[in-house]
């Protein structure tokens, strides 16, 4: 199974070779980049020269998958020149349509491997379900399977990641989960479902139990639904933060008024201000801090001033962080970053 590499680009080819095809490296290289001579590693030249077209195509497809490259990279002149230089001969590089077909074939093969691994698990499995909506308005649905394999190793595998059409209705989600379980042939191995505390998840688990009951599989919602502890903690923290948002300082800290008045923006500030009986805006401590961050991040002049003050005070030049409700720990990270930059 594939593991995504942290970096991408043609400079990462040697890392991919060491990770996935170490046995094909020259013996004198020891699998280390520093042992490779020349501007382009001799290891690649030797491997590519010995590869058949089919093997080379497989390596290219793996490279595209593991480094998140676009399919169109294979049609770039620079990529073709690189491969031909390494091989020292003309190479037939697959077109993007061919790459797409090869990836689809590889996906089906890997999916079968995952299904086999889960089926061979000695005990039951948990599934973890989550839904969310991106800032662009697209809704996503993810399903993970977690279990202990025959070698007593903890496994966490992605079963499905798909775009949802319409609202996140519980019945619709249950049907999607049931379909995925059937595709992998693992409905009988399901022990419990882990999900967050949204109301649609109640409907989802109940509907899933009904669908499984038709297959003579007993899944009691009250016993087999595991509520996500991290989500519960997050809800508690959000409640505590909401109190912080309501605390008002006696005076505006020096310098804040200039930042707050430098430009007016309603972006992400619906909770930042409330009108007083006199018609003036009233800011809480949290709201003042967040609005100052928004202003600085949006203003080139303020960012330049911040950078200058960092140099003057000997403070690391770090980007201010703006918290988001859907990003857990983001408020904590925002406050920590402000403390790091407090002198500036």
Q: What is the mean pLDDT of residues 246-273?
A: 48
Does pLDDT of 25 surpass 70? no
What average pLDDT score do residues 183-205 get?
Answer: 89
pLDDT score of 328 more than 80: no
**55 or 256, higher pLDDT:** 55
Helix axes 300-313, 285-298, angle to 10 degrees: 100
Q: What is the DSSP string of 311-332?
A: HHHT----------TTSTTHHH
Q: Which two tokens stand for residue 312?
A: 């003057």
Q: Binning pLDDT at 50, 70 and 90, where does residue 200 land? A: confident
Tokens linked to 207: 């509907």
For the ranges 4-18, 145-159, 160-174, the maximum mean pLDDT occurs at: 145-159
Distance of CA 300 to the CA centre of its chain: 29
CB 73 within 8 A of CB 79: yes
Q: Which of 60-64, 72-76, 250-254 has the lowest mean pLDDT?
A: 250-254
In this model, does residue 52 exceed pLDDT 80?
Answer: no
Q: If you average pLDDT over residues 280-306, what whole number do you get?
A: 82
**Cα 102 to Cα 117: distance, rounded to the nearest angstrom:** 23
**Six-digit token string for 275:** 């009108």
Q: In the numeric block, which tokens belong to residue 254?
A: 């020096």
* pLDDT higher than 80, residue 246: no
Contact partners, residue 78, CB within 8 Å, separation at least 6? none
pLDDT band per the 50, 70, 90 thresholds, residue 282: low
Collapsed DSSP state (helix, strand, coil) of residue 144: strand
Count Cα neighbours of 116 within 13 Å in the Cβ-side half-sphere: 7
- Dmax (CA) of the chain: 81
Give the model's confidence band at 139: pLDDT under 50 very low, under 70 low, under 90 confident, else very high: confident
Which residue in 328, 3, 332, 59 sits closest to 196, CA to CA?
328
Choose among 287, 282, 275, 281: nearest CA to 243: 287
Cα 180 to Cα 16: distance, rounded to the nearest angstrom: 31
Confidence of residue 34 (pLDDT cuts 50, 70, 90): very low
The residues near 72 (Cβ < 8 Å, ≥ 6 apart) are 96
Distance of CA 266 to the CA centre of its chain: 28
Q: What is the mean pLDDT of residues 88-114?
A: 85
pLDDT confidence of residue 14: 58
Q: In the predicted model, what is the mean pLDDT of residues 311-327?
A: 84
| Predicted local confidence at residue 256, as pLDDT | 47
Q: Closest Cα to residue 337, out of 323, 325, 320?
A: 320
DSSP state of 168: -
Residues above pLDDT 70, as percent of the chain = 71
Domains of the chain: 10-103 (no CATH), 120-227 (3.30.420.10), 237-340 (no CATH)
Q: Among 205-219, 245-259, 268-282, 311-325, whose mean pLDDT is lowest?
A: 268-282
Greater model confidence, 132 or 269: 132
The answer, yes or no, to whether residue 91 has pLDDT greater than 60, is yes
**Close Cβ partners of 97 (under 8 Å, ≥ 6 residues apart):** none
User: Helix 229-246 to helix 285-298 angle, to the nearest 10 degrees?
Assistant: 100
**Is residue 249 scored above 60 in pLDDT?**
no
Contact criterion met (CB below 8 Å) for 148 and 126? no
Structure-model confidence comparison of residues 89 and 151, the more confident one? 151
Evaluated on CA atoms 260, 263, 268, 269, the torsion sign reads: positive
Residue 136 has pLDDT above 80, yes or no: no
- Asked if 334 and 293 touch (Cβ cutoff 8 Å), the reply is yes
φ and ψ at residue 36, rounded to 5 degrees: -80, 135
Whether residue 65 has pLDDT greater than 50: yes
């Amino acid at each position: 199974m594939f593991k995504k590499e942290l970096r991408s680009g043609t400079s990462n080819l040697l890392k991919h070779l060491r990770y996935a095809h170490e046995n094909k490296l020259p013996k004198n290289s020891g699998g280390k980049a520093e042992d490779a001579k020349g501007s382009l590693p001799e290891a690649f030249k030797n491997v590519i020269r010995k590869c058949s077209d089919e093997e080379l195509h497989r390596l290219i497809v793996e490279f595209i998958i593991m480094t998140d490259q676009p399919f169109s990279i294979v049609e770039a002149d620079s990529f073709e020149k690189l491969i031909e230089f390494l091989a020292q001969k003309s190479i037939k590089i697959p077109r993007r349509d061919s790459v797409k077909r090869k990836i689809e074939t590889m996906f089906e093969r890997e999916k079968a491997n995952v299904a086999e691994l889960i089926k061979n698990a000695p005990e039951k499995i948990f599934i973890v379900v989550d839904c969310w909506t991106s800032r662009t308005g697209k809704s996503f649905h993810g399903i993970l399977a977690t279990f202990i394999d025959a070698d007593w190793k903890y496994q966490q595998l992605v079963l499905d990641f798909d775009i949802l059409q319409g609202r996140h209705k519980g019945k619709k989600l249950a049907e999607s989960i049931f379909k995925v379980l059937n595709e992998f042939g693992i409905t009988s191995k399901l022990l419990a479902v882990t999900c967050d505390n949204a109301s649609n998840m109640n409907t989802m688990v109940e509907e899933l139990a009904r669908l499984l009951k038709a297959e003579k599989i007993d899944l009691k919602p009250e016993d087999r639904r595991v509520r996500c502890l991290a989500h519960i903690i997050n809800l508690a923290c959000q409640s505590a933060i909401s109190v912080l948002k309501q605390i008002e300082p006696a005076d505006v800290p020096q310098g804040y008024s200039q930042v707050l008045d430098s430009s007016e923006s309603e972006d992400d500030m619906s909770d930042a201000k409330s009108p007083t009986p006199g018609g003036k805006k009233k800011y809480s401590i949290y709201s003042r801090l967040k609005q100052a961050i928004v202003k600085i991040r949006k203003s080139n002049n303020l960012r330049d001033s911040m950078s200058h003050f960092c140099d003057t005070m000997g403070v690391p030049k770090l980007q201010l962080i703006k918290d988001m409700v859907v990003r857990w720990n983001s408020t904590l990270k925002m406050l920590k970053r402000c403390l790091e930059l407090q002198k500036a």
